[in-house]
Copies of this chain bind each other. A is one copy, B any other.
Amino acid sequence: MLINVAETVVADALRGMAAAHPQLTVDVENRVVVRRDAPVADKVGLVSGGGSGHEPLHGGFVGPGMLSAACPGEVFTSPVPDQMVRAAAGVDSGQGVLFVVKNYTGDVLNFDMAAELAEDEGVRVAKVVVDDDVAVTDSLFTAGRRGTGATLFVEKIAAAAAEEGAPLDRVAAVARQVNESSRSFGVALSAVTTPAKGSPTFDLPPGELELGIGIHGEPGRERRPMMTSGEIADFVVDAVLEDLRPTRPVLVLVNGMGATPLLELYGFNAEVQRVLSGRGVAVARTLVGNYVTSLDMAGCSVTLCQVDEELLRLWDAPVETAALRWGR
């Protein structure tokens, strides 16, 4: 591992992030990443966060057109309410703040507590819980479905609504609509090694894969001998479609878990598009890359989000963050 010691991994990364991105204000001590121009007058703020180890999620999504602030926890560990309250207070313009929370028990509890504390300080808070992973119901750290790739869609699209001046209840409604319109399924081709443990957190022998893996290495649906990229695409896309049953065009996220080369992710995307086309699903936009990762895990996930014209317009709106960036 390219680290000093496990204890300083998150603080070291925040210092390095601050040096690379002068458009962010990085509070290393209190572990809050904020867009430099926050609070933006008359705009609803968006705050997210979660365990570290999923980069660029969430710090890489802070900036105009996406998150106002992010709160990184220790690796695979929820941030604490103090971080979230500080972030909310720092980005609130008086229009209130939306918390975007991935559905893990610790995150949900801590964001709930933070919402109460922030409200006590006079910040209006709404919350959306992202739970898009169809692989399993209930998991190691989750009651209900896990929150994974759809977080990117929720953060981007709801923030675009906020950027246009939508009020808090409307921004929250858009976020919930995006979550309800999204489903994901992930696959591991290797285990993940955390800095604290220093060795793989679960056992996945070479030549096998885990279908339905979580982004912390939580068990999935089943383990099988290695499959081809095409066979994996058939399995994964069908698992998502069976649950989502889209009637409109979809946004496609072909996401790498961290250690899978971009060359392979693009090849996998060709197979994902083949399956979608074969099932009669129209593709509106496609994003391929490492966005919601699990440290050094090899593997991939697919997230589909079905969109109407309004959600697609918000998706296409300009965004200017470290990891996601486009203009129109």
**A residues engaging B (CB < 8 A)?**
1-5, 8-10, 12-17, 19-20, 52-53, 55-56, 60, 75, 189, 228-230, 232, 254, 258-273, 283, 286-288, 290, 293, 295-296, 298-300, 325-327
Q: Which of B5, B258, B288 makes the CB contact (< 8 A) with A259?
A: B258
Closest to A261 in B: B295
Task: For A259, list chain B residues within 8 Å (CB).
Answer: 258-259, 296, 298
User: In the bound complex, do residue A16 and residue B261 qualify as a contact, i.e. CB atoms below 8 Å apart?
Assistant: no
Q: Which one of A19, A75, A325 has the greatest number of beta carbons of chain B within 10 Å?
A: A19
Q: How far is the CA of A272 from the CA of B19 in the complex (A)?
A: 10
Closest to A298 in B: B296
Q: How far is the CA of A229 from the CA of B299 in the complex (A)?
A: 26
Q: Which of B60, B229, B295 makes the CB contact (< 8 A) with A3?
A: B229
User: In the bound complex, do residue B266 and residue A17 qualify as a contact, i.e. CB atoms below 8 Å apart?
Assistant: yes
User: In the bound complex, do residue B53 and residue A16 qualify as a contact, i.e. CB atoms below 8 Å apart?
Assistant: no
Complex A-B: 22 CB contacts under 8 Å: A2-B229, A2-B267, A2-B298, A3-B228, A3-B229, A10-B263, A12-B271, A15-B267, A17-B266, A19-B269, A19-B270, A20-B254, A20-B286, A20-B288, A52-B263, A53-B263, A55-B266, A258-B259, A261-B293, A261-B295, A296-B298, A325-B325
In the assembled complex, the CB of A26 is this many whole angstroms from the nearest CB of chain B, namely 10
Closest to A193 in B: B261
User: In the bound complex, do residue B265 and residue A2 qualify as a contact, i.e. CB atoms below 8 Å apart?
Assistant: yes
User: In the bound complex, do residue A2 and residue B262 qualify as a contact, i.e. CB atoms below 8 Å apart?
Assistant: no
Task: For A300, list chain B residues within 8 Å (CB).
Answer: 2
Closest to A288 in B: B20
In the assembled complex, the CB of A15 is this many whole angstroms from the nearest CB of chain B, namely 4
Closest to A300 in B: B2
Task: For A288, list chain B residues within 8 Å (CB).
Answer: 16-17, 20
List the 8 closest pairs (A to B, CB-CB), nearest first. Answer: A16-B269, A12-B267, A16-B266, A16-B270, A259-B259, A15-B270, A55-B262, A13-B266
Q: How far is the CA of A15 from the CA of B326 in the complex (A)?
A: 23
Given A2-B260, A263-B52, residue A269 in contact with residue B20 (CB < 8 A): yes
In the assembled complex, the CB of A226 is this many whole angstroms from the nearest CB of chain B, namely 8
In the assembled complex, the CB of A22 is this many whole angstroms from the nearest CB of chain B, namely 9
In the assembled complex, the CB of A23 is this many whole angstroms from the nearest CB of chain B, namely 10
Q: How far is the CA of A70 from the CA of B199 in the complex (A)?
A: 39
Task: For A293, list chain B residues within 8 Å (CB).
Answer: 261-262
